[in-house]
Chains A and B, each alone.
Chain A
Amino acid sequence: MSSDDGRKEDTSVSGPGRIPSDIPFFLGIGGLALCYTCLITALVLANMTAIEWQDLLGMWYNPDIHASIRLTFLTCSVSAILSILCAVPIGYLLSRFRFPGRAVIDAVLDIPIVLPPLVVGLSLLILFNKVPFAGGSLEKWLNDHGMMVTFAIPAIILAQFTVATAFAIRVVKNTFDQIDHRSEQVAMTLGCNRSGAFWNVALPQAGQGLVAAGVLAWARALGEFGPILVFAGATRGRTEVLATSVFLEINIGNLGGAAAVSLLMIILALGLISLIRFITRSKTPFL
């Protein structure tokens, strides 16, 4: 609307070189930005109004929440490391090479991003427990070999990893896309092979982006809930991560407790966002 107004103004005013005012434009985008920021701030504040001191104290002294925080940090870290180990080669592959089927792979890798998280969990559950495998099902086979996945901690990691990796791959691919691959070609003309160029030239330049991808994967893992609920269950003290804690507290009508845990997650999220900012802005190379 405001740009229309600007054009009308433009035709009515005579004289060359007269630039119409930028104010409506800035008001427009500024206003929208403000509205959305207000919405998010209001959400955080609303969440905080539901919290009383007792809830914070309750959370502080609740051993179940302690276990939940511990498990969240451990699983998110494992998932983030696994994600980055997977995402770097895949991102590099997609960024540097053109090969038949690349478009298909590219699309498949986006599935976890667009799929409702619950469906990821359901599919994992079915994959492990329903699909025929040696000895009945994959889960059965794993159990026979001393491993438990479904409704256990590995299920949490697998659920987080599945979704977080998809996001990490996007970031890693963008990072490599932005790095001119000429320097790698130069390295190869100077006697490097592909592997050497990757390790010694591409990776050091991508450092910041890779760390950012790792932090993003960690943050995604933190926010993961749907697949964990379905695939790992929400058993208090056993497969309870922070997102599960919020769910469990809501389920028993403890709104204050749920909000208190949410606040903790908001603070964690803010910290992670700032960390990504700091990494991607700082000029010092990380690798």
Chain B
Amino acid sequence: MKKPFYILGLLLVTLGVLVFILSRHGKPVESSAEVLTVHCAAALQKPVREIARQYEMEYGTRIRLNFAGSGVLASQIKVSGGDLYIPADSSYIGPMKAEGLVLESTDLARLRAVVVVRKGNPRNIRSMDDLARRGVRISVGEPTAAIGSFVRRVLMESGDWERISPQILVTKPTVNNVVEDVATGAVDAGLAWDAVASQFKDVELVRVPVFEDIPRCATAGILRGAEVPAALHFMRYLAATGRGRDVFEKMGFTVPAVADSWTDAPVLTLFAGSMLRPAIEDRLRLFEQREGCRIKTVFDGCGTLLARMNENDAGAMPSAYFPCDSTFLSDVKDRFGPGMIITSNEIVMLVPKGNPRGLKKLDDLSKIGLRVGLADAGKSALGKLTMDMMMRYGCWDELHDSGNVVVLASKGEELANQMQSGALDAALIYLSNAMASPGMMADCKIIRLRQPDAIAHQPFVVAHDTPYPQMVLRLRDFITHDDARSRFEQLGFKFIKREWTDE
């Protein structure tokens, strides 16, 4: 007769066990395998799901996908974090980059807004005017979805929004829902992304001029606090030819013209003027760790680098070239894409501490009995710029005739060393050469020449034939990121960072 008590006891014990199991729910148990959390716009659901599946099979890393409208994801990320954010429109990335929430980003696919109608276009909808017709039922995305906010913005500007809004029957959280509405016949027309609509069987796309010239770009961004290099590895995979890019293309997305080839751990070659070594060396190592790649860097005088490129053997072409001055590009311009002027650096006169010979101007270098060090015009940008500057100033021949030039170095660092050892009375070098060596200020004095043409501009250019154009651009952005700026400025570089096409 005590049976009910036993059953009560059993219930309580079961309850205890269940609560215990629940208390452990959702805690990461799979510490053995890596897990990446990817917040992805619902519009990209199909390709990204497929790419994640392939990636999981290839590398065993688990990808947790969270799909929603791009705007919804942005607010979720602020609360819960994650590794990658893939909105359907790159305009979501910009503000997050500005806030420091997104670091690197890469373009994945282009999307154009279209009018979606049922197969055969039974309501004969061909233009925005047709949408404004009475009795046409329209479905649009909510403003929290990229499609919703984009069509609102564009149509409000064009004045069409007011005309069609009485016909809007329903708003939906994602573009997929909008197309679904058209496919099931619940509405007559929807405003959706072309690539998403073309995945559905029962619908047809009507292209309208108002959207046609403004394609949007689905972009992947690495979130602050993301697991690197795993997150970057997957981001590269998403965009790479032969991997993610092919899946996007297969599913009807327009993919960007340039994309990286897929390699597990790419190797980049960077040719850089030797003056840049102290400014970028540490940053290059950080980039390697972050991206899981290797950078073979050759620092040398720019003339030497040019000569190596002109030898034209297969291994000699770098992925990127970061010369000391833009004049050292003209010979190889056709091999590189448009670049960006990153910094400028002025040429200064370096004299021993106290300036015992009282040197002030370029003319003074021809004084009798001086030991002057210059850079070789054939081997380095510094030498070339120095020569041009002195020729224009009109003291080049005089200096040569004086026989004062005792050293023609291949790069500025050598001259800096010789100055420090006391072997020279004066040298013309970059301000950064002088600032880079810590002991220099104790032994030498910098005399600013204030010559407008004594300034070298350092452009960063990407090789046309590099297999990793996107990664090289990330490298450029990384070594010239605001975090790196102070290092450049410490060394006497002026930070410019503007687009540069030709002189």
Q: Which residues of A contact B (CB under 8 A)?
A: 63-64, 67, 70-71, 74-75, 77-78, 81-82, 84-85, 153, 199-200, 203-204, 235-238, 250-255, 287
Check if A287 sits within 8 Å of B7, measured CB to CB: yes
Q: In the bound complex, do residue A84 and residue B42 qualify as a contact, i.e. CB atoms below 8 Å apart? A: no
Contact in complex: A253, B18 (CB < 8 Å): no
CB neighbours of B1 from chain A (8 A): 200, 204
In the complex, A71 Cα to B45 Cα: how many Å? 25
**Contact yes or no, B18 A78, CB < 8 A:** yes
Q: Given A78-B22, A81-B18, are A254 and B62 neighbors across the interface (CB < 8 Å)?
A: no
Known: A84-B11, A199-B4, A287-B7. A252 touches B42 (CB 8 A): yes
Most buried by B among A74, A77, A200, A253: A253
Chain B residues in 8 Å Cβ range of A85: 11
Q: Which A residues are in CB contact (< 8 Å) with B14?
A: 77, 81
Selected from B21, B22, B175, the residue in CB contact (under 8 A) with A253 is B175
Decide if B214 is an interface residue (CB 8 Å cutoff): no
Chain B positions 65 through 98: 1 when the CB is less than 8 Å from some CB of chain A, otherwise 0 = 0111000000000001000000000000000000
Residues of chain A contacted by B11 (CB below 8 angstroms): 81, 84-85
Q: Which of B21, B45, B66, B178 is the one whose CB lies under 8 Å from A254?
A: B45
B5-A199 in contact (CB<8A): yes
Instruction: For the complex, give the distance between the alpha carbons of A71 and B3 in Å.
Output: 31
What is the CB-to-nearest-CB distance from B48 to chain A, in angstroms, rounded to a whole number?
11
Q: Which of A153, A251, A255, A287 contacts B22 (CB 8 A)?
A: A153
A251 in contact with B173 (CB, 8 Å): yes
- Give chain B's interface residues, CB within 8 Å of chain A: 1, 3-5, 7, 11, 14-15, 18-19, 21-22, 25-26, 42, 45, 62, 64, 66-68, 80, 172-180
**Besides A200-B4, A204-B1, A250-B177, 7 new A-B residue pairs in contact (Cβ under 8 A), listed by A number:** A74-B25, A153-B25, A237-B64, A252-B67, A253-B172, A253-B179, A287-B4
| Cα A125 to Cα B45 with chains together (Å) | 32
The CB with the most chain A CB atoms within 10 A, among B26, B64, B174, is that of B26
Also in contact, A236 and B66, with CB within 8 A (given A200-B1, A203-B4): yes
Alpha-carbon separation in the docked complex, A249 to B473 (Å): 37
CB-CB under 8 A for A81 and B22, given A204-B4, A251-B174: no
Q: How long is the Cα–Cα vector from A204 to B1 in the complex, in angstroms? A: 9
**B147 nearest CB across to chain A (Å):** 11
Min CB–CB distance A25 → chain B (angstroms):
40
Query: How far is B66's CA from A163's CA once the two chains are assembled, in angstroms?
Result: 30
A196 and chain B: residue at smallest CB distance:
B1
Q: Measured between C-beta atoms, what is the minimum distance from B472 to chain A in Å?
A: 35
CB proximity of B330 to chain A, nearest CB, Å? 52
- Closest residue of chain A to B4, judged by CB? A203
Minimum CB–CB distance for B471 against chain A, Å:
31
Nearest chain B CB to A256's CB is how many angstroms away? 11
Closest Cβ of chain A to B24, distance in Å, is: 10
Do A253 and B42 have beta carbons less than 8 Å apart?
A: yes
Residue of B nearest to A214 (CB): B11
Q: Which of B4, B18, B66 contacts A77 (CB 8 A)?
A: B18
Nearest B residue to A82, CB-CB: B15
A-B contact pairs, 22 of them (CB 8 A): A63-B62, A63-B64, A70-B25, A74-B25, A75-B22, A77-B14, A78-B22, A85-B11, A153-B22, A153-B25, A153-B26, A199-B4, A199-B5, A200-B4, A251-B68, A251-B177, A252-B176, A253-B45, A253-B174, A253-B176, A253-B179, A254-B176
- Residue of A78, A84, A250 near B19 (CB, 8 A) is A78
| Chain B residues in 8 Å Cβ range of A203 | 4
Q: Which residues of B contact A82 (CB under 8 A)?
A: 15
For A204, list chain B residues within 8 Å (CB): 1, 3-4
Instruction: Determine how close the nearest CB of chain B comes to the CB of A265; give it in whole angstroms.
Output: 20
> Are A253 and B177 in contact, CB atoms less than 8 angstroms apart?
yes
CB-nearest residue of chain B to A64: B64
The reply to whether B18 and A255 contact each other, CB–CB distance below 8 Å, is no
Considering only CB atoms, which chain A residue lies closest to B178 in the complex?
Answer: A253
Given contacts A81-B15, A252-B68, are A237 and B22 in contact (CB under 8 A)?
Answer: no
**B5 proximity list for chain A (CB < 8 A):** 199
Closest CB in chain B relative to A157 CB, distance in Å:
8
| Neighbouring A residues of B4 by C-beta, 8 Å | 199-200, 203-204, 287
CB distance from B500 to the nearest CB of A (A): 43
Closest residue of chain A to B67 (Cβ to Cβ) is A252
Residue among B15, B25, B80, B180 making CB contact with A255, cutoff 8 Å: B180
In whole angstroms, what is the CA distance A84 to B172 when docked? 40
Judge whether B66 and A74 touch: CB under 8 Å: no
| Nearest-CB residue, chain A, relative to B192 | A253
Q: Are B26 and A238 in contact (CB under 8 A)?
A: yes
4 pairs of A and B residues whose beta carbons are closest in the complex: A253-B176, A252-B42, A252-B67, A203-B4
A199 to B6, CA, bound (A): 11
Q: How far is the CA of A27 from the CA of B19 in the complex (A)?
A: 52
In the complex with contacts A153-B22, A199-B4, A78-B15 CB distance below 8 A: yes
Residues of A within 8 A of B45 (CB): 252-254
- Which B residues touch A63, using CB under 8 A? 62, 64
A112–B7 Cα distance when bound, in Å, is 28
A71, A199, A236, A287, most chain B CB atoms within 10 A: A236
Nearest CB on A from B35, distance (A): 10
Q: Is the CB of A237 within 8 A of B15?
A: no
Q: What is the CB-to-nearest-CB distance from A197 to chain B, in angstroms, rounded to a whole number?
A: 12
Q: Are B180 and A253 in contact (CB under 8 A)?
A: yes
Beta-carbon nearest neighbor of B196 in chain A: A253
- Tell me which residues across on chain B come within 8 A of A255, comparing CB atoms: 180
**Which of A67, A199, A254, A287 contacts B26 (CB under 8 A)?**
A67
CB distance from A175 to the nearest CB of B (A): 14
A264 to B65, CA, bound (A): 22
Closest CB in chain B relative to A108 CB, distance in Å: 26
Please report the C-alpha to C-alpha distance between residue A78 and residue B176 in the assembled complex, in whole angstroms.
36
In chain B, what residue has the closest Cβ to A285? B3
Alpha-carbon distance between A36 and B177 when the two chains are bound, in angstroms: 30
**Residue in chain A with minimal CB distance to B46:** A254
Give, as a whole number of angstroms, the nearest-CB distance from B323 to chain A: 49
User: What chain B residues lie within 8 Å of A78 (beta carbons)?
Assistant: 15, 18-19, 22
Chain A residues whose CB sits within 8 angstroms of the CB of B68 once the complex forms: 251-252
Complex Cα–Cα for A197 and B11 (A): 21
